[in-house]
Structure 1
Amino acid sequence: MDIAKKIYKNSPNIIKLPIEYVYGSIPNKYKYGAKYREMKRLLEKSQWWPKEKHIEYQTMEMKKLLIHSYEHVKYYKDVFDDYGFNPYTFKNLEDIQILPLLNKSIINDNFQDLQSDNYPSRKKMLTTTGGTSGNQLKFFAEKNYNQVEWPFVELIWERVGYTSKSRVAALRNDSFRNRELFKYDWKERRLIIDNFHLSDSNIKTILDKLNNEKVEYIHTYPSAILSLCEYIKRTGFKMENTPKAILATSENIYPGQKEIVEGIFNSRLFTFYGHSERACIAGWCEKSDYYHIQSEYGYVELLDEEQKVITKTNTRGEIVCTGFWNYAMPFIRYQTGDYSAYASKKSCLCGRNYELLETIEGRWMQEMLVCKDGSKVSITALNMHSNLFDNVKHYQLFQHKVGEVIIKIVKTDKFSDNDEIAILKEFMKKMGESIDFKVTYVSEIEKTQRGKYKYLIQKLNI
Structure 2
Amino acid sequence: MLHVLRRSALFDRLARRPPVLYGRARRAIEAVEAMDAGQREDMQDRLLRRVQANARELAAYPAAETLAQLPVLEKSDMRGREAHYARRGVGAPAATGGTTGQPLRLRRSPGQIVFEQAMVDHLVALAGGVANRSVTLRGDVIKPVDETAPPFWRAVGPGRTLLSAHHLSRANYPAYAAFLERERPGVLHAYPSALDQLTRLAEEAGGGPPIGLVFTSSEQLPSGLRARVKRAFGADLLDFYGQAERVCAAWSLNDGEYWVRPDYGFVEFAAAEDGAHIVGTSLRNRAQILLRYDTGDLADLGPDTSAERLRLVRLGVAPFAGLTGRQSEYVELPDGTRIIGLNHVPRGVPGAASVQVLQVGPNRVRLHVTQAEGFCAATRAVALSNLRQKLPASVGVEWLVADAPFRLPNGKAPLFVDVRGRQIEPAQLISEPERHPAAA
Q: TM-score, normalised by structure 1?
A: 0.75
Q: Supply the distance in 1 between the matched residues of 2:328 and 2:28 (Cα, whole angstroms).
A: 37
Compared CA separation, residues 41 and 393, structure 1 to 2 (3 A): closer
Tell me which residue corresponds to 1:174: 140
Any idea what SS the aligned residue of 1:218 has? strand
Which one-letter code corresponds to 2:296 in the other structure? G
Q: Supply the distance in 2 between the matched residues of 1:272 and 1:423 (Cα, whole angstroms).
A: 28
Q: Cα RMSD over matched residues?
A: 3.8
Q: Supply the distance in 2 between the matched residues of 1:160 and 1:332 (Cα, whole angstroms).
A: 31
- Please say if residues 300 and 320 of structure 1, whose CA atoms lie closer than 8 Å, have aligned partners that are also in contact: yes
Tell me which residue corresponds to 2:19: 33
Tell me which residue corresponds to 1:336: 295
Q: Supply the distance in 2 between the matched residues of 1:113 and 1:29 (Cα, whole angstroms).
A: 25
Q: Which runs of 5+ in 2 are unaligned?
A: 421-440
Any idea what SS the aligned residue of 1:283 has? strand
Tell me which residue corresponds to 1:294: 261
Which one-letter code corresponds to 1:52 in the other structure? G
Tell me which residue corresponds to 2:67: 96
Any idea what SS the aligned residue of 1:450 has? coil
> How far apart are 1:379 and its partner, in Å?
2.7
1:397 corresponds, among 357, 378, 401, to 357
1:219 corresponds, among 169, 189, 208, to 189
Tell me which residue corresponds to 1:184: 155
Compared CA separation, residues 280 and 30, structure 1 to 2 (3 A): closer
1:452 corresponds, among 412, 418, 434, to 412
Percent identity, aligned pairs only? 19
> How far apart are 1:104 and its partner, in Å?
2.4
Compared CA separation, residues 175 and 427, structure 1 to 2 (3 A): closer
- Please say if residues 345 and 355 of structure 2, whose CA atoms lie closer than 8 Å, have aligned partners that are also in contact: no
Compared CA separation, residues 260 and 29, structure 1 to 2 (3 A): same
Does residue 360 in structure 1 map to residue 291 in structure 2? no
Q: Supply the distance in 1 between the matched residues of 2:381 and 2:415 (Cα, whole angstroms).
A: 21
Tell me which residue corresponds to 1:12: none
Cα offsets for 1:291-317 (capped at 9, x unmatched): 1111111111111227xxxxxxxx941
- Please say if residues 58 and 85 of structure 2, whose CA atoms lie closer than 8 Å, have aligned partners that are also in contact: yes
- Please say if residues 302 and 341 of structure 1, whose CA atoms lie closer than 8 Å, have aligned partners that are also in contact: no
Does residue 74 in structure 1 map to residue 59 in structure 2? yes
Compared CA separation, residues 212 and 45, structure 1 to 2 (3 A): same
Q: Supply the distance in 2 between the matched residues of 1:251 and 1:209 (Cα, whole angstroms).
A: 25
Tell me which residue corresponds to 2:248: 280
Q: Supply the distance in 1 between the matched residues of 2:238 and 2:154 (Cα, whole angstroms).
A: 24
> How far apart are 1:228 and its partner, in Å?
1.7
Alignment of 1:19-168 (within 5 A): 20=9, 31-70=17-56, 72-76=57-61, 79-80=62-63, 85-86=64-65, 95-117=66-88, 120=89, 123-165=90-132, 167-168=133-134
Q: Supply the distance in 2 between the matched residues of 1:288 and 1:394 (Cα, whole angstroms).
A: 19
- Please say if residues 244 and 268 of structure 1, whose CA atoms lie closer than 8 Å, have aligned partners that are also in contact: yes
Q: Which runs of 5+ in 1 are unaligned?
A: 10-15, 87-94, 307-314
Cα offsets for 1:111-158 (capped at 9, x unmatched): 3432325xx3xx422211111122210122213432111111112222
Compared CA separation, residues 184 and 422, structure 1 to 2 (3 A): same
Any idea what SS the aligned residue of 2:328 has? helix
Does residue 385 in structure 1 map to residue 385 in structure 2? no
- Please say if residues 325 and 343 of structure 2, whose CA atoms lie closer than 8 Å, have aligned partners that are also in contact: no
Compared CA separation, residues 412 and 340, structure 1 to 2 (3 A): closer
- Please say if residues 156 and 272 of structure 1, whose CA atoms lie closer than 8 Å, have aligned partners that are also in contact: no
Q: Supply the distance in 2 between the matched residues of 1:289 and 1:159 (Cα, whole angstroms).
A: 18
Does residue 204 in structure 1 map to residue 174 in structure 2? yes
Q: Supply the distance in 2 between the matched residues of 1:126 and 1:402 (Cα, whole angstroms).
A: 35
Does residue 319 in structure 1 map to residue 313 in structure 2? no
Tell me which residue corresponds to 2:201: 231
Compared CA separation, residues 393 and 54, structure 1 to 2 (3 A): closer
Aligned length: 405
Compared CA separation, residues 411 and 214, structure 1 to 2 (3 A): closer
> How far apart are 1:273 and its partner, in Å?
0.4
> How far apart are 1:97 and its partner, in Å?
1.5
Does residue 262 in structure 1 map to residue 230 in structure 2? yes
Mean Cα displacement is larger for which, 127-136 or 287-296?
287-296
Does residue 245 in structure 1 map to residue 216 in structure 2? no
Which one-letter code corresponds to 2:140 in the other structure? D
Any idea what SS the aligned residue of 1:318 has? strand
Compared CA separation, residues 177 and 375, structure 1 to 2 (3 A): closer
> How far apart are 1:266 and its partner, in Å?
3.6
- Please say if residues 49 and 353 of structure 1, whose CA atoms lie closer than 8 Å, have aligned partners that are also in contact: no
> How far apart are 1:47 and its partner, in Å?
1.7
Compared CA separation, residues 54 and 316, structure 1 to 2 (3 A): farther
Compared CA separation, residues 289 and 48, structure 1 to 2 (3 A): farther
> How far apart are 1:106 and its partner, in Å?
2.3
Any idea what SS the aligned residue of 2:181 has? helix
Q: Supply the distance in 2 between the matched residues of 1:454 and 1:417 (Cα, whole angstroms).
A: 25
Q: Supply the distance in 1 between the matched residues of 2:11 and 2:338 (Cα, whole angstroms).
A: 55
Any idea what SS the aligned residue of 2:44 has? helix
